[in-house]
Copies of this chain bind each other. A is one copy, B any other.
Amino acid sequence: MADTTGNTTLRLGDFLPYRFSVLSNTISKQIASRYQTDFGLTLWQWRVMAVIGERTGLSASDIVSLTAMDKVAVSRAVTGLIEQGRLERVTAAADARRSYLHLTAAGQDIYDKIVPLAQAELDRIAATLSETEFEQLNQILTKLAEQASPDRPLW
């Protein structure tokens, strides 16, 4: 406590939220550009595919409540995927407002291609860290995420 004014100057480059944001955006952009050039997918389209690939038949609003995407983003991603023939929509018999989403064969195809790719990205990240650090990071993220948005179930 060398500063009695309370106005220590802030070192932006050391400031955790800033570093966090920069790093996260760097990683996201790399991933996004890869998915774009290799598969013509936006990050959000990929996220929608990832959710449906994991559990088929969910509706758009299921995706909204399961992820951090908002409904407009999901709607647009879904529209794009359908145009690309990678997703199909089946109106629910019981409720004409909602529809269930499924990967088409083509969709499943690239899903199967991307999953190992995503796994490889994760491995690349993990490789930078020791085993313990990797676990620590996951734990820390869980804590921070709970704190940052206590309301939203993580999954």
Interface set of A (CB-CB < 8 Å, partner B): 6-28, 30-31, 47, 50-51, 53-54, 66-68, 112, 115-116, 118-119, 121-122, 124-125, 128-129, 133, 136-141, 143-149, 154-155
Contact of A17 among B6, B31, B53, B146 (CB under 8 A): B31
In the complex, what distance in Å separates the CA atom of A68 from the CA atom of B26? 9
**Residue from B8, B17, B26, B136 within 8 A of A27 (CB atoms):** B17
User: Using Cβ atoms and an 8 Å threshold, which residues of chain B touch A25?
Assistant: 24, 68
Q: Is the CB of A144 within 8 A of B21?
A: no
Number of copies: 2
The answer to whether A22 touches B122 (Cβ under 8 A) is: no
A115 contacts across to B, CB distance below 8 A: 7-10
CB of B141 within 8 A of CB of A15, answer: no
Q: How far, in angstroms, from A130 to B19 measured CA to CA in the complex?
A: 19
B residues near A6, Cβ cutoff 8 Å: 116
- A13 & B149 in contact (Cβ 8 Å cutoff): no
A63–B16 alpha-carbon span in the complex (Å): 18
12 contacts between A and B (CB under 8 A): A10-B119, A12-B67, A17-B125, A18-B47, A19-B145, A20-B24, A20-B141, A22-B67, A23-B144, A23-B148, A24-B24, A128-B146
CA gap between A50 and B8 in the complex, in Å: 12
A144 touching B122 in the complex, CB below 8 Å, given contacts A9-B53, A66-B13, A155-B13: no
Complex: chain B residue closest to A5, CB-CB: B112
